[in-house]
Each structure stands twice: as C-alpha cells, then as structure tokens.
Amino acid sequence: MTRSLLTVSPDTPMSRARQLMEDNRLRYLPVVGEGRVVGLLDRRAESVVDDFGVVVVDDGTVQGAMTAGPACVPSSCPLRDVVHTMAHEGISAVLVVDGDQLKGMFTDVDALKLLAMILTG
C-alpha cells in the first residue's frame, strides 16, 4: 500500500493533474474535496476518443475526468477481502480511508508485488 499520496481537488486543471502524474510516474491520483475523498483520477481517463477516432484531451478540470465515488475500504479491512473485491469486480485501485481521512491506496501492482513475495518465499 502506498501511504504518502499526492492528491488534487476537483477544481484542479487537468493540465496540472497530468503534469503531477507525469512528474511522479503515477497511474492514479486521489481527488479530495471538502476534506474527504470524492474521486479518483486514472491516467487513462484524461482523454476521450470522439466519433471520428480522434483523441481529444480534456483541458477542463479534474472533476470532469475523475471517477466519482471510487472504491474505498477502512484500514482495518483484511487484505484478503480487498484483493478478492479487486479481482472479482475488476478494480485496479482501492483507496484506504478512515472516516474522511485518506490513509493510502492499494493497487493491482501492490497485489502483484505481494504475490511475487509469497511465491519466492
């Protein structure tokens, strides 16, 4: 689990969010508004393909590109439950929150690292 996370607000310009993600090599960026998690920005969500197959980059705000209401679990949630949910619901990232406070994020890469560690003993 990644504990130290960069976050953006829903009104952050997409250009700023893209730069943060690129500079820090992030696939996901939690969106926090009014002191609580309100969304998750996925690197793939920042562009859309129009009817003609042309990629259009959204130059608006994060709110227009984020996934609202992302999967969240409390820090007390057993890891097996988190991984099970991710696998069966096709979720790539889960935010770890206690109350309204963002504590971290567990991603598919974290799960693969864990699996590799288990398999190598």
Tens digit of each residue's pLDDT (9 = 90 or more) over 15-70: 899 899 999 999 999 999 999 999 999 987 645 545 555 555 556 889 988 999 99
Domain extent at residue 109? 14-119
Is 86 within the bounds of a domain?
Answer: yes
pTM: 0.82
Is 53 within the bounds of a domain?
Answer: yes
Is 113 within the bounds of a domain?
Answer: yes
Is 29 within the bounds of a domain?
Answer: yes
> What is the pLDDT at residue 3?
81
**Of all residues in the chain, what percent carry a pLDDT higher than 70?**
88
Is 114 within the bounds of a domain?
Answer: yes
- Give the CATH number, domain containing residue 61: 3.10.580.10
Is 22 within the bounds of a domain?
Answer: yes
Q: Concatenate the DSSP letters of all residues of 24-51 into one string.
A: TT-SEEEEEETTEEEEEEEGGGGEEE-T
Q: Tokens for 15, please give them.
A: 């250009």
Is 40 within the bounds of a domain?
Answer: yes
> What is the pLDDT at residue 71?
94
Is 109 within the bounds of a domain?
Answer: yes
Tally of domains in the chain: 1
